[in-house]
Each structure stands twice: as structure tokens, then as C-alpha cells.
Amino acid sequence: MTERRGPTFSRRHLLATSGLATAAVVAAAATGSTDAAAAPEDSGVALPFHGAHQAGIATPEQARMVFASFDVTAAGRAGLAALLAEWSDAAEQLTTGRPLTGPGGSFAPPADTGEALDLQPSRLTLTVGFGPSLFDDRFGLAATRPAALIDLPAFPGDALDPTLTGGDICIQACADDAQVAFHAIHNLTRIGLGSATLRYLQVGFARTASSSATAAAPRNLLGFRDGTNNLVPTDEGTMDAHVWVDRHGDQAWMHGGTFLVARRIRIHLEAWDASTLGDQERTIGRAKSVGAPLGSAHERDPVDLGALDDFGAPRIPAGAHIRVASATTNHGAAILRRGYSFVDGVDPATGELDAGLFFICFQKDPGAQFVPIQRRLASQDALSTYLVHTGSGVFACPPGTAPGRPWGHGLV
């Protein structure tokens, strides 16, 4: 099947069509379900930018996401350091909801693009990560590349578009307002002109992973509750065990950071929609209506992988998604999921929706956590029949910032 390229923008295209792009991106991001899109009561607040860890990782998921990958064109290490410092200063200001300030006047472009001037901060978070390609001879960073920042192997079912894969630096913007999230990426992209070029951009909507041990997980485009057994980021012991890089890591600048894996996963919704309810539930391993594991009554009931049905067969089938993805069947490997659904129009070659999940996860070692889980999913998960991975990236997310310690402090 021919894959349609996703929303890839060049720097020139962004400048030439910024007005149209703003409207189009916001419209696309606003297509989530009413239930999942409902902003929490505190959606107008500003979240702290500084902290021991970057915001946007353990932060309760916002309703909207814009993920951008950049190729760095700055000259040398000093140019990279200047870019990161300028981005960090702007990111701190953007998360407060205040417009960017700077030299201007009637004969110069405004310091802020302006599309969020009348909007609240909407719990905006900005999270930065550094890809393997940043650690090359251009900036003299080869010796500082973390051992865990691996190039992901090829997996069965991959159909990766190079224009939607990789990148030197990623920035994840999450907010409860689509325009606030886009405004942040728009301005950071403009600030980076001459030093960084936008490689690809993905808009997501409607949270697809639960950040609470009690709240009902939101539904994904398959119609199922997704993320019920996700790691709970408020559990410090769990985060220390699975997410945050500790002082045993080989690079001191990553202590307190984490590793981000992003995968653009297209779902063949037309084929899924044609399958029976029973087939769908056996594929996932849960009841579609309430989200309970098969054979149970409630979404949060424990998943009993040893339970048998009346005929002596596993109640949760061998290829069910929740069985194959379970930490108990992956030698304890677990990741913090933070995914968003996307709809990028129609594939002109097939007339099918170009829609799916922009999957983001955080962990302390992708090679020991994401890779074995994904290998198992690609080869054994019944859901993989309906999926194709079209984009990919892995990034080292440094620890949080402090005044005078911007993004990349300790690295560049």
C-alpha cells in the first residue's frame, strides 16, 4: 500500500504560509472527540518551566500536542549553544503566557507572531531532546553521546518515511489549547531560522494515555480505552526505576533526564471498522464498552493472563495486545507512554484516512525497554495487522533547567 507523506514543512514553506498553516494546524488539532478534548478546570494556569526534570514528561497529559523535529545548521558548537540558550529563554517566556519581547518597531517584524496574544497559558509545556545525529563531527559531541542513545533497529511492519524520521533536536509542545501549542513551535521555529531547519512537524489531539491510577483512560481512534496500565508518573519509585536516568548513566549531563522514542503509527481504520466486535475485543484483550479485561467487569480490574474460558482456552488470547505489551511478558520492561491521535487527511492513492497514533514514550534505556517490547509487538501482537509505522525517532532529553542553566547546559 502506498503511504502518503505526513505534514512535513520546510522553513521556507512555514514562512510563506504561516497564516494558512496556523489555521490548518489548529483545525486539525481540534478534531478530537468532545470527551477527550474537554480541558480541565485549571487549563488556564502556567506550569513551571524550571525544575529537576523537564516538564511535559511526568506532567498530566494535556489535550493537544505539536511535535517538531529540527536539523541543526548552526556553525559549530558555539552556534549550537547560542541556539539552545535563545530557545530556552523563549520557551520559559512562552510557558508563562506572556508574548515574546525583543527589539522591534514599525520597520521590523514583531517579536511575537501574535496568534496567542489573547489566550491563557493552557498548561503549556516544552520538552527538548537530542537525536543521535547531533553527536557527530559538526559540534564535537561524539564523546558525550550517551550509550543508551541508540539508533533504533528495523522492526517488522516498518514503512518509515525518511522525511518523518530522525532529526538533530526535537521539541514537544503540549497544551490544552491547540493554538497555544502551535504558537510555541511557530515562534521557536522562527527564532531558529539560520541555525535550525524544521524537518517534520506532527499535530496530535485527544490524550491516549492515562496518567492516573484511578481515572478512566481516554479512547483512541480504535474506539478502545488506551493506557489503562500505563506507568503512573506521580509514583516516584516507578519513575526512578523505569524513566529517569540515574547517576549510573555514562554521561553526567543526562542525570535526571530520560530518553524519548517517537513513532508515527498509521492505523488502517477501514479494515478495523469492518472487523466484528468480538474480533476487535479479542485483538485488544478488553471489552470495548467499559475497557475491562476480558472476563472482568471493570477497567481497572487486574489483568489475569492465566485465566481460562469455559473451553479451557486463555480468556485473553495469546496475540491480544494487552498480553503482548504487558511487562510480565516482557521480562519486566516498562515505559511511560504519552501518545496522541492524529488525522492528516486522506491518502490520495487509496482514499483511506491517513490517521493513527503518534506514539511517544519515555524510559531510561530504549535498548532495554522500548526495543524488546516493540520487537514482541511487531511479531506477536494481533493488532499489528492493522498498523504500519511511518515515522520514527529517538532522543536524549536532558534534565530540567534552572535560571542560568538553559537547555543543553552541561552538554554544549
Separation between Cα atoms, residue 250 and residue 368, nearest integer Å: 15
Residue 240 confidence (pLDDT):
97
Q: Give pLDDT tens digits for 308-319.
A: 999 999 999 999
Residues of the chain with pLDDT under 70: 1-43, 104, 207-215
Q: Is there a contact between 164 and 264 (Cβ–Cβ < 8 Å)?
A: yes
Q: Give pLDDT tens digits for 11-55.
A: 333 333 333 333 333 333 333 333 333 444 456 899 999 999 999
Residue 104 confidence (pLDDT):
67
Residue 7 confidence (pLDDT):
39
Residue 247 confidence (pLDDT):
93
Give me the DSSP letters along 196-237. EEEEEEEEEEEE-S--SSSSPPPB-TTSSB--TT---TT-HH
Residue 213 confidence (pLDDT):
56
Q: Decide if 252 is inside a domain.
A: yes
Residue 102 confidence (pLDDT):
81
Residue 37 confidence (pLDDT):
36
Q: Decide if 2 is inside a domain.
A: no
- How many structural domains compose the chain? 1
Residue 207 confidence (pLDDT):
63
Q: Decide if 352 is inside a domain.
A: yes
Q: Decide if 4 is inside a domain.
A: no
Residue 41 confidence (pLDDT):
44
Residue 26 confidence (pLDDT):
34
A 10 A CB-CB count for 30 gives 15
Residue 39 confidence (pLDDT):
41
Taking alpha carbons only, the member of 260, 259, 256 closest to residue 52 is 256
Residue 33 confidence (pLDDT):
33
Q: Decide if 405 is inside a domain.
A: no
Separation between Cα atoms, residue 412 and residue 405, nearest integer Å: 11
Domain with 67, as residue range(s), is: 11-397
What end-to-end distance do the CA atoms of the chain give, in Å?
Answer: 43
Q: Decide if 141 is inside a domain.
A: yes
Q: Is there a contact between 171 and 128 (Cβ–Cβ < 8 Å)?
A: yes
Q: Decide if 393 is inside a domain.
A: yes
Coil/strand/helix, residue 252: helix
Residue 229 confidence (pLDDT):
85
β-pairing verdict for 64-72 and 196-207:
antiparallel
Q: Decide if 410 is inside a domain.
A: no
